[in-house]
Chain A
């Protein structure tokens, strides 16, 4: 179980490293994706329960709600992660399309060369 948290933190650190230090826009955007995936893994692990069941009330569980609450995994982090995944798809898609435009204007994806504004 604690492995989840270790991997999540590793992913976040790796993503941050990629985002801040890589010299290629596409790699930076991948880093952004990896970092948010790390956060998602962290969130889902929070709601995980060893041997738990999916948080869907069906059949015999309808009568035994107290038992259901002790067995089911926490559904809220899953809902949060789902929302967040959708948001991050938007951001990454938008960032990639911007990268295409950057390449059209500058002919490079190296962020150190995309700094005409500072001149």
Chain B
């Protein structure tokens, strides 16, 4: 089999992004339908997914695929694909392609579609680059590409709501990335290299923590916490994600926040392996778990409710990777994968309702279950999976998280109690949302609501099927999460493969 280099997974969406306006222009000249640039974007993202998928067998064998740009590391920049990068790349391309398919119908009445798809492709380029690169400054550059496209997509509709959300997001987000840049500058000052593996190699040899290292560590943690929307840096998420067009909400809430967790594992755990910040991460996770669920309970806006639920689920992930044991990180990564599926599903169902009735307030809905049975069923699956009801995927990963904590014993048992309680609360607010949308009396103005169009139902059904599949056969998800966890924890292996025994 021919091995396609990992760089193609970055180049393809990048070129696709800049070709989209050209495709739109040409199709306009020749009188082809406007949807053509949507299909073009879908083709590009599916091709990216195929490239990423072609790397699965090699990585599952335990190999680390390295692609060198220019000189060998630590001089040149290199792309490193191990289990952790692969899991992230699969999530990005997978959810990305479903989101693109969904957008074709959802966005059809909007203008400037070429810009929309160009930005969607750019956000995928940025995230792909950020998870595949082995160079920390490269990671920062790709992260900025992702963030700038995310700010632009949040503001895409240019209503007061999206503008306000976007400017808030921009201020907080750029503060976060500035922290990362300062942290990278400090690391370069301290170690004279930007390669993650090389820095990890050098920090391992230090006898104790130095002040520079401590400062850089706190800057990195703060920067990635902003990206992951963990308390106390969560305030932007609840504004930004609902304000974006719904397919983008699905992408941001499902995959984009995961980059924060990836940064924690790759940069913080690999580079600062010797320093213990696990308890801090777990405490922040616990706080966002509780706060997200409490805020979600009082929301009346369907998208804001799901956005707060994202904060709560990110809390679970940080709570789990903060433990730092094999089981904990595995559970956290599995939950990361499940969160991407569940959040994309929930937002897409909400998008169908918004598309059909043009309302977001839960009080103005009701009785829609009879007119859109498939959407109702999919929303129910997503809600139950998020709450962790067996036999759905959310249960499998939450069970792993609880078991990992129980194994650790002591105070952890109290924390597990809190986490179980929050799961019950998750069930409460999602079922409340389900009841007020799909059950009860149907208001007068919702007489003629139809089921979602087929192109929107397709990704929804696929995601719902994945929820059930990963719940019934959790070993499929664990099969991806275990290599990712091993990649995150076996630092010697990572350093050795990248530096090649230098």
Contact = CB atoms under 8 A, between A and B. Distances in A.
Contacts of A101: 155, 158, 163
A30 interface: no
Nearest to A87: B144
A42 B182 CA distance: 9
Interface in A28-64: 28, 32, 35-36, 39, 42-43, 46
Interface string B223-244: 0000000000000000100010
A90 B155 CA distance: 15
A116 B185 contact: no
Contacts of B152: 94
Given A19-B171, A84-B181, A91-B174, A98 B137 contact: no
A105 B243 CA distance: 15
Given A105-B163, A117-B164, A117-B239, A46 B178 contact: no
A55 B182 CA distance: 24
B167 A42 contact: no
B71 to A, nearest CB: 12
Interface string B176-197: 0010011011001100001000
B166 interface: yes
Given A87-B144, A90-B148, A91-B144, A98 B167 contact: yes
B462 interface: no
B144 A116 contact: no
Contacts of B188: 43, 46, 76-77, 80
Contacts of A25: 167
Interface in A56-112: 76-77, 80, 83-84, 87, 90-91, 94-95, 98-99, 101-102, 105-106
A87 B170 CA distance: 13
Interface residues of A, number: 31
A98 B181 CA distance: 23
B151 interface: yes
Nearest to A83: B141
A98 B141 CA distance: 22
B26 interface: no
B178 A36 contact: yes
B182 A117 contact: no
B244 to A, nearest CB: 13
Interface in B452-496: none
Contact of B164 (A42, A83, A116): A116
Contacts of B144: 87, 90-91
Contact of B185 (A19, A42, A87, A106): A42
Contacts of B451: none
Contacts of A115: 164
Given A32-B174, A42-B182, A91-B170, A98 B189 contact: no
A118 B192 CA distance: 45
Interface string B148-175: 1001100100111101111100110011
A114 B163 CA distance: 10
Contacts of B181: 36, 39, 84
Given A80-B137, A91-B148, A94-B170, A114 B185 contact: no
B164 A35 contact: no
A92 to B, nearest CB: 9
Nearest to A97: B155
A9 B182 CA distance: 11
A25 B185 CA distance: 28
Contacts of B164: 102, 105-106, 114-117
B223 to A, nearest CB: 12
Given A39-B181, A42-B185, 11 more contacts: A32-B178, A46-B188, A76-B194, A80-B184, A90-B144, A94-B151, A99-B167, A101-B155, A114-B164, A117-B164, A117-B239
Interface of A: 12, 19, 25, 28, 32, 35-36, 39, 42-43, 46, 76-77, 80, 83-84, 87, 90-91, 94-95, 98-99, 101-102, 105-106, 114-117
Interface of B: 137, 141, 144, 148, 151-152, 155, 158-161, 163-167, 170-171, 174-175, 178, 181-182, 184-185, 188-189, 194, 239, 243
10 contacts: A25-B167, A46-B188, A76-B194, A87-B144, A95-B167, A98-B163, A98-B166, A98-B170, A116-B164, A117-B161
Query: What are the 4 tightest A-B residue pairs by CB atom distance, in nearest-first order?
Result: A105-B160, A101-B163, A98-B167, A87-B144
